[in-house]
Amino acid sequence: MGSNPIRSTITVDCIDLVGAVFFMTRPVQGIIPPCGGHRPVGNRGRPGRLYPVDTALAIYFFRLIRIHKKFTIFCFLKKGFRIFIQNILIATVFCCCIFYWQLNTRGFFHPYGQQGVHMTIREELELREQEILSPWASLSKETRGRLKEEEPCDIRPAFQRDRDRILHSKSFRRLKDKTQVFLAPTGDHYRTRLTHTLEVSQNARTIAKALRLNEDLVEAISLGHDLGHTPFGHCGERALNRICPLGFEHNEQSLRIVDILERNGKGLNLCWEVRDGIFNHQMSGSPSTLEGQIVRFSDKIAYLHHDMDDAMRAGLLTEEEIPREISDVAGKTIGERLDFFIHDMIRNSQDKDVISMSEPAAKALQDMRTFMFRQVYSNPVAKAEESRAEQLVEVLYDYFFTHEDRLPDFYLHMIVDETSKMRAVCDYISAMSDHFAIAKYEELFVPKAWSVL
């Protein structure tokens, strides 16, 4: 019996060790160490993904065990073995209850932090991003902010909120009647600027999800990247760029729409990362985030594949005409090639701070672009109406520049000098859909039949 206290203390010392290891390794989500502790810094200065050590909790644990050991020895020496067993059980239960209360108070059993501290759904989603996404991902919580400060949503993280704002904008809805390649197509299955945007978004989200990057940011950039496109596609853009002394680029106009023109001049007030991705979505751009880089590649992949599909539907191409240097590397069908480029980009970008493709894939994509420009984008059949469309855009610009009083009030109020008048006319014309531009031209310049009887 004389060795029982020693065995008891040895047993309790083992519990000390197990408890220390337990508290130093358990994944505690959302708890910041109250005194000391360790939370390593990860890539790009972000708090690391390792778990914090709650130093105060460990000290509290050791103090309870020390009291427990002293009480154990005291009961055995003073009260005898029977009383010792009863009291040690009572003391153990008592210490466990106190310690459980401390754990619960400190949020140890709460998945997202200290119990009693209300966390919004947005905050829980932000914590989930921090735990799940790649160290290279752009976290909603770490956005560089908006042009104008505003209260965060209690449900949606910042990039999801931006995605929703773009989706509900008038500029986004107008994309359904803007040309992709074939001007004002009458067939049900030809792409428009809207379906192109949706395909870019889908490709980009697939890549982002595989790389554990921010899908909300990727989708927001994708949905907003072509908001500034003119009627009649790139030929309308060329016409405005040629006739307006200020020049015209659709990526700059997309940014102008989300910053200024939408919501009756208030703009959408998007996050910096979304605006950066929209402005830099062309291959000549240089996005600051990996999500923006994904959209930049996805835009090119999407338009080459769906424009090829539309060209085949129009009878301008056949699968047999695709060069061997493309089909041997990327695949024999449109679906196979699309799958190849997306898989290649994922494989070559995993665990890297840049989005890239392998050399064979990059060459095949460039060969595909060269082939499409030669066979489709410069094809006289597909482009037969482009010169007329460009002329229409130029005539509308000249008319509204000399008759600014015919502009809608929203654009008219923007005019304070010649420069602002040029920009206001460009804003108005670039916002038109194909059908609206044709209707406006007919209203202004096509004689109408006399209808009075």
Q: What digits encode the pLDDT tens for the residues 310-369? A: 999 989 999 999 999 999 999 999 999 999 999 999 999 999 999 999 999 999 999 999
Find the range with the poorest average confidence among 42-46, 200-204, 434-438. 42-46
Looking at per-residue confidence, does 292 or 31 come out higher? Answer: 292
Q: What percent of the chain has pLDDT over 70?
A: 74
Residue 260 has pLDDT above 70, yes or no: yes
168 closest CA partner among 263, 81, 236, 240: 263
pLDDT value of position 283 = 86
User: What is the Cα–Cα distance from 92 to 85, expressed in whole angstroms?
Assistant: 11
Q: Which pLDDT belongs to residue 193?
A: 96
Which pLDDT belongs to residue 182?
81
Structure tokens that stand for 93 in this block:
């239960």
In terms of pLDDT, which residue wins out, 24 or 439? 439
Work out the pLDDT band at 228, boundaries 50, 70, 90. Answer: very high
**Given this model, what pLDDT does residue 74 score?**
62
399-419 mean pLDDT? 96
**Buried (b) or exposed (e) across 316-355, using 16+ Cβ within 10 A?**
bbeeeebeeebbebbbeebeebbebbbebbbebbeeeeeb
Q: In the structure encoding, which two tokens stand for residue 363, read together?
A: 């060459």
Cα–Cα dist 11/92, whole Å: 13
Indicate whether 221 pLDDT > 50. yes
State how far the Cα of 234 lies from the Cα of 248, in Å rounded to an integer: 11
* Segment 405-418 mean pLDDT: 96
The answer on pLDDT for 145 being more than 90 is yes
Q: Which residue has the higher pLDDT, 23 or 287?
A: 287
Question: How sure is the predictor about 77, in pLDDT bands with cuts at 50, 70 and 90?
Answer: low
**Left if phi > 0, otherwise alpha if psi is -120 to 50, otherwise beta: which for 267?**
left
- Indicate the length of the chain as a whole number: 453
> Which residues, listed in sequence order, are joined to residue 170 by a DSSP beta bridge?
none
Contacts of 46 (CB under 8 A, 6+ apart): 135, 139, 142
Whether the per-residue pLDDT at 80 is higher than 90: the answer is no
Q: Helix, strand or coil for residue 146?
A: strand
Q: Using pLDDT thresholds of 50, 70 and 90, give the confidence band for residue 107.
A: low
Q: What's residue 17's pLDDT? A: 44
Report the chain's C-alpha Rg in angstroms: 32
Specify the pLDDT at position 94: 67
Task: Give dist(CA 125, CA 154) in Å, integer.
Answer: 10
Percent with pLDDT over 90 in the chain = 67
Structure tokens at 369: 């672009």
How much is the mean pLDDT over the chain?
83
User: What SS3 state is found at 315?
Assistant: coil
Residue type at 251 in one-letter notation: N
Q: Torsions phi, psi of 47, nearest 5?
A: -55, 135
pLDDT band at 103 (very low <50, low <70, confident <90, very high): low
At 380 the three-state DSSP class reads coil
Joined tokens for residue 18: 């197990």
Q: Which of 431-436's residues contact partners 24+ apart within 8 Å by CB, and which partners? A: 431/171, 431/174, 431/261, 432/230, 432/231, 433/174, 433/176, 433/177, 433/178, 433/231, 434/177, 434/178, 434/179, 434/183, 434/184, 434/231, 434/232, 435/177, 435/184, 436/177, 436/231
3-state secondary structure of 379: coil
Name the one residue in this structure whose structure tokens are 């990059």. Answer: 362
Range name among 83-92, 105-114, 343-352 with the lowest pLDDT average: 105-114
Q: Report which of 358, 323, 352, 353 is spatially closest to residue 340, judged by C-alpha positions.
A: 358
Q: Mind listing the pLDDT tens digit for each residue in 28-73?
A: 333 333 333 333 333 344 443 333 444 555 555 666 666 666 666 6
Quickly count helices (H) and strands (E) in the chain.
20, 0
Of 85, 80, 70, 58, the residue nearest 9 (C-alpha): 70
Tokens coding 128: 């989930």
Q: Rounded CA gap, 294 and 276, in Å? A: 13
- What's the DSSP call for residue 45? G
DSSP calls for 177-191: GSBSSSSS--STTS-
Return the pLDDT at 101. Answer: 64
Instruction: Calculate mean pLDDT across residues 227-233.
Output: 96
- CA–CA distance, 429 with 425 (Å, rounded to integer): 6
Residue owning tokens 């927001």 = 220
Q: Which residue has the higher pLDDT, 301 or 384?
A: 301
Average pLDDT over residues 152-169: 97
pLDDT, position 23: 44
**Structure-block tokens of residue 373:** 């420009």
Give the pLDDT score at 115.
Answer: 45
More confident residue, 440 or 24: 440
Task: Compute the distance between CA of residue 261 and CA of residue 246 in angstroms, rounded to an integer.
Answer: 18
Distance of alpha carbon 259 from alpha carbon 443, whole angstroms: 31
Q: Express each pLDDT in 358-398 by its tens digit.
A: 999 999 999 999 999 999 998 888 778 899 999 999 999 99
d(CA 428, CA 438): 14
